[in-house]
Structure 1
Amino acid sequence: MDAGHDRIPEDVEVPALARQFQELADQMFTRLPLYRRLAEGAAGDLEVVGRLRLAPSTQRLPVLLLAAVHDRLLAGLDDVLADWYPSVAGLRGDEGHLARPVGHGDDDPWPHFRRLALEDGGVAELLATRHTQTNEVGRSATLVPALFQVALAADAPPGGVRPLGIVEIGASAGLNLRFGAYGYRYHLPPDDEVASGTRTVIESVGAGSRLMVDCQLRGPHLPPLPASSLPVATAVGLDVHPLSVRDDRDARWLRACQWPEEQERSDILARAIELARQEPPTVEAGDAVDDLARHLRAVPPDALPVVVSSWV
């Protein structure tokens, strides 16, 4: 372990962080046996929770510790804890992404998690240097109809829509800037009158895409959907701590920040990263306060400047 990462400041109230772990177990992880057990274990172990004091003050979050351990396992660390992680079982080629059930005694993953959290130098390094990140591709399903409506409302050529100059705030690795590369299935509410007969799914643009994004609609109103890909003149993302899809460590960190038991979500992210590597999105280090105006000025005159954020 790097000696510098072992000097833990005493300026954080560890019991407050422990309560946050318990809240995750009670509220967010109720259907995730592995992470519920790990969060419950951490909530009762102030020594483990104290490892978060290695992180910058704004990143002392329970999910950072969970992600740091997850990252080490995704990187191939040979540790028995990996047996409980479906995300790692998939990488190892285990049939059906089967993972060891969470139980008691020898089937309890917590002692192994605790050991890594306290003793692994790689975990300490990640706590000290990484920031929690997610890049939820599914949020593109809400961006497409919104951008289409904006393009229609703007001055556009007859029979068309005005090209867009998109700036995304908090873009992470920029996967949502690639919304035009995905296909979308909008599922109608099954108990709503619009879902009459057999019409339960609307397929929007890109129905033959290598990555289909599913979106469950609520309420009687259908979103405005384009008949073809929206014209995009420019697209750039800003993030205080941007990630690159071309960097294997960054790509792995995105996966590590997801819950290992949500395999479908992880598979979608992996396919989105694979597609993005063929045509990487442009993401720069910066924030809205200092850098937004400069990027808006760079939008071509015939394009409509649009600022978006998918809260990633």
Structure 2
Amino acid sequence: MEDDGRSIGSEAVVGAGPPGTDPSRGASVPPPVEQPERLVAWQLIGQARACQVIGSPLYAHLLTTAAQDVLGGGPLADLLVPRVRPGRGDAAGLRLMAAVHRLVLTRRATKLATHFPSVGGTPDLGTAGATFLDAITDHLEVLRVDVERPCQTNEVGRAAGLVVGLLACSAITGLPLAIREVGAAAGLNLRLDHWRYELPGDTIVGDPDGEVVLAGRWRAPVPHADHGFRVVDRRGCDRNPIDPTTAEGRLALSASVWADQPARFERLGAALRTAARVPATVDAASAAAWTREHVTPAAGRVTVVYHSIVEEYLEADERAAFHRAVEAAGAAATEEAPIAWLRMEPSSELRHHAVSLRLWPHAPELRHLATTGAHGDDVTPR
């Protein structure tokens, strides 16, 4: 259930104006559902701005084209307006681009593929928009199904931010980790102890021989880097788990990666190969009920419940119930059986997300450990 959507603060996401206006100009508050064309355009242009900030000019261009097409009553209005959802639309822009990328990866949109580096293309922003709209028209019926797929970006680069908290848990408690991920998608980051982390100061933690290599992502020394960490148990949950060992699972994960970011594709490939040999259970379950069952104190280990860019996808009641479940587990923790709550979630700071930690009984108050980009780059430990 992970997602890239809140890559910039909500106050920086601009709205769509009335039909015929530039959708990149307008209020930061989303239009009401009663104005569905404007709301969909607002959602798309917000994601376009996020993609531009994080380094995907192709997706920024195509999503801006999509917003203009919606306001103009084109094929994307036919596709998206009947399916409009309030607010950010459950990552409408990301779901659209994953559906289109799926067409490219399965060789059904061959002309559009010439613009997608993920299959060897070279973007031409002068012509890509028109080719994109042609592909939408040609595959409208398939897209009606695929845009309903939930956003499932299982970005392994986010482990660069999470590792700051894992090292703290290990060093403060002196115990190995039992990790519990909420919104785990395919569970790739349940294998994060098998990644190789090349930290500042020539320090390597994780698996020195790991295929996933995270290097050059930290802007300052990482506290407790010399301590390392060890995972002795792993389990996660997701409303719609993906099996990364199947062809469909690999396609779903690949489609969610932005097509003009080859380094992310390389990391995904390495993570998929690791997942094929390192088992990890991802239960189909809601966050709160699963936490009550699987996040419990256990002697001789610190149980770490963690998530990255998940909370905005939880309904308010479910989010509150999840928080209560974690805090109840924390209240039952002891020195011998600690509970940790590690979060990487959006902050109001442009481009950045906050990595924060609560650790019962050692440090139960919320501590901000680092800021990081949405994909685990520019990690700045505090």
Using structure 2 for the length normalisation, give the TM-score. Answer: 0.64
* Distance in 2 between residues matched to 1:72 and 1:78, nearest whole Å: 6
Which residue of structure 2 aligns with residue 147 of structure 1?
166
> Of residues 63, 68, 73 in structure 1, which corresponds to 2:99?
68
Query: Of Structure 1 and Structure 2, which has the larger fraction of its residues in strand?
Result: 2
Which residue of structure 2 aligns with residue 102 of structure 1?
124
Q: Which amino acid aligns with 1:216?
A: R
* Distance in 2 between residues matched to 1:271 and 1:14, nearest whole Å: 40
* Distance in 1 between residues matched to 2:50 and 2:235, nearest whole Å: 35
> Of residues 114, 117, 120 in structure 2, which corresponds to 1:86?
117
* Distance in 2 between residues matched to 1:35 and 1:288, nearest whole Å: 31
Q: CA deviation at 1:74?
A: 0.9
Q: CA deviation at 1:139?
A: 1.8
Which residue of structure 1 aligns with residue 79 of structure 2?
51
Which residue of structure 2 aligns with residue 246 of structure 1?
245
Note the alpha carbon deviations across 1:114-158, whole angstroms, 9 max, x for none. 133234132222113x1111112122223234223213323xxxx
* Distance in 2 between residues matched to 1:289 and 1:56, nearest whole Å: 27
Secondary structure in 2 matching 1:76? coil
* Distance in 1 between residues matched to 2:203 and 2:298, nearest whole Å: 33
Consecutive unaligned residues of structure 2, counting only runs of 5 or more, are: 1-32, 311-382
Which residue of structure 1 aligns with residue 60 of structure 2?
36
> Any conservation in 1 of the 2:40–2:84 contact (CA below 8 Å)?
no
Query: Of Structure 1 and Structure 2, which has the larger fraction of its residues in helix?
Result: 1
Note the alpha carbon deviations across 1:11-62, whole angstroms, 9 max, x for none. 7712221133233334532653422321221121123144124658453611
Identity among equivalent positions (%) equals 27
Larger Rg: 1
Secondary structure in 2 matching 1:213? strand
Note the alpha carbon deviations across 1:272-302, whole angstroms, 9 max, x for none. 01110122321111122122111124x6433
Structure 1 runs of 4+ aligned residues shifted over 6 Å read none
* Distance in 2 between residues matched to 1:37 and 1:231, nearest whole Å: 43
* Distance in 2 between residues matched to 1:239 and 1:11, nearest whole Å: 31
Pick closer, same or farther for the CA change 1:148–1:32 going to 2, 3 Å: closer
Which residue of structure 2 aligns with residue 20 of structure 1?
43
Which residue of structure 2 aligns with residue 292 of structure 1?
291
Note the alpha carbon deviations across 1:205-234, whole angstroms, 9 max, x for none. 423322211253234x53212555x33232
Aligned residues: 269
* Distance in 2 between residues matched to 1:55 and 1:276, nearest whole Å: 34
Note the alpha carbon deviations across 1:239-273, whole angstroms, 9 max, x for none. 11211102222221222112111101111011101
Q: Which amino acid aligns with 1:52?
A: L
Consecutive unaligned residues of structure 1, counting only runs of 5 or more, are: 1-9, 90-98, 155-160, 188-198
* Distance in 1 between residues matched to 2:206 and 2:290, nearest whole Å: 32
Which residue of structure 1 aligns with residue 263 of structure 2?
264
* Distance in 2 between residues matched to 1:151 and 1:300, nearest whole Å: 15
Aligned-residue CA RMSD in angstroms?
A: 2.5
